[in-house]
Structure 1
Amino acid sequence: MTALTPAPGFLEAPFARRTWRAYGFLWVALLLAPFAFAYAVLTTVLTVGLTVTVVGLFVAGALVLGGRGWGGAYRRLSRRLLSVEIAEPVPRRTRRGFWRRLGGTIGDGAGWRAILYMAATFPLAIVSFVVSTVFLAVALGAMTHWVWSRFLPLQEAPDGTTHRGLSIVAGDWYWFADSPARHTLLVAAGLVLLFLWPLAQAPFVALFRLLAGALLGPTRASVRVAELERTRAGVVEDADDRLRRIERDLHDGTQARLVAVAMQLGEARDLLAAGNDADDVALAGNLVGTAHDSTKEALAELREIARGIHPPALDSGLAVALETLGARAPVPVTVDVDPVVEAGGRLAPAVESIAYYTVAELLTNVVKHADASGAYVLVQRTADGLRVRVRDDGRGGAAVVAPDGSGHRTGLAGLVDRVRAVDGTLDLSSPAGGPTVVTVLLPTQTRPATPVTRPRP
């Protein structure tokens, strides 16, 4: 729930558009309240009454789903008149199977929350409208009493005198607002009530906003499920792309090189089997040497592919893996890993892997796009989780979504999905001209501590 406009000050509140729009909301809420309350009662009674049936529950389910329509109407009213933006609930899924479809309609959470809102706001709409209208009517009436009081009928005071206007009589004591001084006093009192009117109305409006945000918007659980489904789809797509890239590298690179080795060894074997000619033996030796060199190159390619699947350096700990990654970067990279990171035990393999590949991807972006002279990697373990920060002195302008308005997702979008898949967050700061700072926060799930073996310098 997000406020679209700021609240006006005390002196401008009675004349502010936001105050009068909120008062208009109270009018609309009062007009809708009886129908909404009747709908809520009807839905509840039918659901309970038709429980013993089966087919009849689809009628009750349709009414529950209709609550989503009521919720949408109240969200639009809240946005236009209360200046508050409420996100729509997660769309309903169409389930397969008779019983699952029936349960999905009769048990729709968004529909029932909207129905609860309609029932809860029925008394609130009446009380809020009465209080706000009484305040406003009394204020305006007191301020204009000097105009319309002359049309009131004459009243007789206890002493026999006659007066016009507002009267307060208590036994033999009486007070009539029928003189300029008393008219002025009423105008002043009306002004005070007019400025107090927004304050009297504000608690009811705030309660409407609170109920709308709590009952008409999505729940945290539903948002989290939808986010996990989206990130899971992104992670699966990223994993599929990686597998395809590995397959392509094996097919076009390593496999072709091994086929050439096999052909060279086969040709050498044929030359050796043909006879003892010195030229044939020398040519066979050259072929075997070429095959040997190609085999070593194929092994190097296989090591690179295996490193892309799981970096061997991670077996020695995240610190060693990141230091190795920084040493291999084409630009100078300073890696600063807080010793506390692994002091409490090794992190979960998924967290270590995501941290490693995040840094690797960010350093790749630094080399390809940032035009930077260097980068700095900082890894800390805090109370919130594992914080990984990568900073470069490049030209900046990095974005998760292309800034040209096309909606095209950049390479950083894949990192965001990968980080969110483990309940992490990614924060990007990249103004034009730099520097670019990417801060990733990952949960510190740990595994049992194992001895960390660091290579000797």
Structure 2
Amino acid sequence: MSTSQPTAPVSRTAELARGALWRPGVMARTWRETGYLALALLLAPFAFAHAVLAVVLPPSLAVTVLGLFVAGWVVVAGRAWGGLYRGMARGMLGVAVAPPLPRRRVRGFWRRAGALLGDGAGWRALAFGALSLPLAVVSFSVSVAFLAIALGGTTHWFWYRWLPAQEGPDGRMHRGAQLADGYFVDTPLRQWILIAIGLVALLVWHRMTLAFGHLFRLLSAALLGPSAASLRVQFLEQSRGAAVTDADARLRRIERDLHDGTQARLVAVAMQIGDARERLAGAGADPDGAEALGLLDEAHGALKDTLVELRDIARGIHPPALDDGLAVALATLASRCPVPVAVEVDLPGRPAPEVETIAYFAVAELLTNVVRHSGATAASVRADVVDGALRVRVRDDGCGGARFALPGASGGSGLAGLSDRVATVDGSVDVDSPAGGPTVVTVHLPLSVTP
């Protein structure tokens, strides 16, 4: 099972029936897409008129200033056409196009007017309406023409007898369709030829209809969903939010550790030292100072434990091993891991300090997961540069089954949280963890966060 950082797709096409016309579901799909072409032709003139109005209205109303808001709302109203066409595409073309991002609320007279007139989703929906007019006219006309030939050719043998008789060049009366001057379809051979032509036209109608439907499907995915730029902005905003949340959680954890652990221990040490001082200062009390020495020994041991805690907290903020480079830091992590870990680092130069920090904590989280969850007997860490980006890969021979939804080693957000932290510098996480193992987690990071 291979899993990558989850992202919302712009469009998703359902499983469509394919193949020859007589295969199950293919005829139903062809009729649905024919209905889409008919409905698109019915709506196209109104959508085209709306698009033309959105183009000519702003220059006409710009002199009134307030009229710019009217013109802007005409542009924004194009989103309604986009919603209508997305519904048609979902129900009749089998493609689910994600809706565009909501409009941003801005303050200020001119900024609001500019946001309305420059609404990208509205303009793209209007562009779809403008392009759909010529495409709908051509596609529906061609589709209906071949469908008429197919139906007429295959059924002519039945209804031709009710046609009015016509006199041919030979002076005889004929009943049947006249395909050319003096050529009437009124003999068995010509009827069979026309049936064959009708069957060929039926196959052509099927293929042409699906081809035009696919054009509308592509056009819908390109113009009716969110743009790449808007998705990029949304992704960066989500990454920024994840970074802020992660930083706040780290600060709270450090504060909690200092308050509940280190601070309480220092208070206990201070009380022990104070008690020892009182005993030493007391006249006639404990002349040998044995009890005071015992209290001082306890205080000394507590101070050493506190120093260890402070080192762990400081290491959680910025590991000192990173001062000597990522290779040394990863080797230090591997030496502390209960599971044997092979480390291989092949870097032409040092990445940015913030990238090294993220890579270090990513490997620390992954190795902790290996120890607590995988049941592995060996693991490996490799860091190198591929296509101008830092690639850190952690592999173990454990039981597998890792995925983004599972909690981390500390009960937190696990791989999903790791993915969020990596995304703050525009990185990504890939997880390949089939049942039974092995598990391979690859972290991709830029070498620098500056443009």
TM over 0.5: same fold? yes
Question: Is 1:72 aligned to residue 83 of structure 2?
Answer: yes
Question: Is 1:28 aligned to residue 39 of structure 2?
Answer: yes
1:350 aligns with one of 344, 354, 357: 354
Residue matched to 2:245: 237
Residue matched to 2:444: 441
CA RMSD of aligned residues (A): 2.5
Residue matched to 1:329: 337
Secondary structure of 1:144's partner? helix
The answer as to whether partners of 1:335 and 1:377 remain within 8 angstroms in 2 is yes
Secondary structure of 2:268's partner? helix
2: CA distance, partners of 1:150 / 1:410: 77
| Aligned pairs for 1:37-436 within 5 A | 37-170=48-181, 174-274=182-282, 279=287, 281-337=289-345, 339=346, 341=347, 343=348, 345-383=349-387, 385-401=389-405, 410-436=413-439
Q: Pick closer, same or farther for the CA change 1:302–1:400 going to 2, 3 Å.
A: same
Secondary structure of 1:52's partner? helix
Question: Is 1:2 aligned to residue 2 of structure 2?
Answer: no
Secondary structure of 1:398's partner? coil
Amino acid at match of 1:240: D
1: CA distance, partners of 2:144 / 2:227: 34
Q: Deviations over 1:4-41 (max 9, x none)?
A: 12451145479532222111100110111111112222
2: CA distance, partners of 1:117 / 1:299: 67
The answer as to whether partners of 1:113 and 1:215 remain within 8 angstroms in 2 is yes
* Deviation of the 1:308 alpha carbon: 0.5
2: CA distance, partners of 1:287 / 1:402: 47
Aligned length: 436
Identity percentage of aligned residues: 58
Q: Deviations over 1:383-402 (max 9, x none)?
A: 26222222233333332226
The answer as to whether partners of 1:136 and 1:197 remain within 8 angstroms in 2 is yes
Secondary structure of 1:433's partner? coil
Q: Deviations over 1:351-397 (max 9, x none)?
A: 21111111111122222223333323232321262222222333333
Q: Pick closer, same or farther for the CA change 1:252–1:392 going to 2, 3 Å.
A: same
The answer as to whether partners of 1:379 and 1:387 remain within 8 angstroms in 2 is yes
* Deviation of the 1:316 alpha carbon: 1.4
2: CA distance, partners of 1:317 / 1:351: 11
The answer as to whether partners of 2:82 and 2:125 remain within 8 angstroms in 1 is yes
* Deviation of the 1:231 alpha carbon: 2.0
The answer as to whether partners of 1:388 and 1:440 remain within 8 angstroms in 2 is yes
* Deviation of the 1:274 alpha carbon: 4.3
Secondary structure of 1:50's partner? helix
Which of structures 1 and 2 has the larger relative contact order (alpha carbons within 8 angstroms, sep 6+)? 2
Q: Deviations over 1:148-190 (max 9, x none)?
A: 21111122222222212122445xxx32211001100010111
The answer as to whether partners of 2:160 and 2:177 remain within 8 angstroms in 1 is yes
Secondary structure of 1:294's partner? helix
* Deviation of the 1:112 alpha carbon: 1.1
The answer as to whether partners of 1:331 and 1:367 remain within 8 angstroms in 2 is yes
Secondary structure of 2:64's partner? coil
Amino acid at match of 1:109: G
2: CA distance, partners of 1:64 / 1:51: 14
Structure 1 window deviating more from structure 2 (432-441 vs 268-277): it is 268-277
Residue matched to 1:452: none
The answer as to whether partners of 1:50 and 1:56 remain within 8 angstroms in 2 is yes
* Deviation of the 1:125 alpha carbon: 0.9
2: CA distance, partners of 1:409 / 1:163: 86
Residue matched to 1:450: none
Q: Pick closer, same or farther for the CA change 1:189–1:303 going to 2, 3 Å.
A: same
* Deviation of the 1:105 alpha carbon: 2.2
Structure 1 window deviating more from structure 2 (53-62 vs 305-314): it is 53-62
Q: Pick closer, same or farther for the CA change 1:4–1:353 going to 2, 3 Å.
A: same
Q: Please list every run of 5 or more consecutive structure 2 residues that lacks an aligned counterpart in the other structure.
A: 1-10
Q: Pick closer, same or farther for the CA change 1:318–1:162 going to 2, 3 Å.
A: same
* Deviation of the 1:280 alpha carbon: 5.4
2: CA distance, partners of 1:224 / 1:446: 16
1: CA distance, partners of 2:371 / 2:244: 27
1: CA distance, partners of 2:311 / 2:323: 15
Amino acid at match of 1:351: V
TM-score by length of 1: 0.88
TM-score by length of 2: 0.89
Q: Deviations over 1:67-86 (max 9, x none)?
A: 11110110111111111121
Structure 1 window deviating more from structure 2 (315-324 vs 328-337): it is 328-337
Secondary structure of 1:96's partner? coil
Q: Please list every run of 5 or more consecutive structure 1 residues that lacks an aligned counterpart in the other structure.
A: 448-457
